[in-house]
Chain A
Amino acid sequence: SQKIEQNSEALNIQEGKTATLTCNYTNYSPAYLQWYRQDPGRGPVFLLLIRENEKEKRKERLKVTFDTTLKQSLFHITASQPADSATYLCALGGNRDDKIIFGKGTRLHILP
């Protein structure tokens, strides 16, 4: 069955450093991959989408890579700030439907 793994449940990063989160998947060939941010008690907020034919996407301090051979996406936050502390969710989807599959998420703590 389709499976998504996000590298760790929690990640602690020093303020100012680059945070790198990993999303691996198996038994699936997604057409696109999305990253969301979720704060406690709130709904997820869309951050970035990258399609299967794209290698890299950037938005301000965020960068996403997508390697369909390795079946992996990396999500980077550069110059991290305590306000970046949240749970980050990776989600995969196909072209023919909107059945998006979410990973469990990684809790990121940026330490001042």
Chain B
Amino acid sequence: DAGVTQSPTHLIKTRGQQVTLRCSPKSGHDTVSWYQQALGQGPQFIFQYYEEEERQRGNFPDRFSGHQFPNYSSELNVNALLLGDSALYLCASSRGWRGGGNEQYFGPGTRLTVT
């Protein structure tokens, strides 16, 4: 079992550009959540996908959007990049939805640097 995989590992972009990050969930998991983690901070919830729909969203602007595919993999898109978007982007997968504290498995993250 490969666990949660994310690509790319590192990415450098320029202000104003757009970026797409990818995530494959752990085998048997159907729910994917995305988090942003700035240096020295805890992860901040961006949104969650289940059955190819965005089910929950944190306090992030519309520049952050996502998608989930029929095979449960997911993409995070960020438009009009700002310097403040530089962070580690984490994907987490779990089984099922509707809260209740499902154990989340995190990927290694994608380190995005915006210059």
Contact = CB atoms under 8 A, between A and B. Distances in A.
Real complex partners, A and B?
A: yes
Interface of A: 4, 31-32, 34, 36, 41-46, 49, 51, 89, 91, 93-105
B24 to A, nearest CB: 13
A102 B43 contact: yes
Interface stretch (B70-78, B79-87, B94-102): B94-102
Contact of A104 (B4, B40, B100, B105): B40
Contacts of B35: 102
| Chain B at the A interface: SS class | loop
B103 interface: yes
A43 B36 CA distance: 11
B40 A31 contact: no
B41 A51 contact: no
B33 interface: yes
A104 B43 CA distance: 8
Given A42-B108, A44-B90, A93 B101 contact: yes
A100 B99 CA distance: 9
B48 A104 contact: no
B5 to A, nearest CB: 11
30 contacts: A4-B42, A31-B99, A32-B100, A34-B101, A36-B106, A41-B108, A42-B108, A42-B109, A43-B4, A43-B106, A43-B107, A43-B109, A44-B106, A46-B105, A46-B106, A49-B101, A51-B101, A89-B43, A93-B101, A94-B99, A96-B99, A97-B56, A98-B31, A98-B48, A98-B98, A99-B45, A102-B42, A102-B43, A104-B40, A105-B42
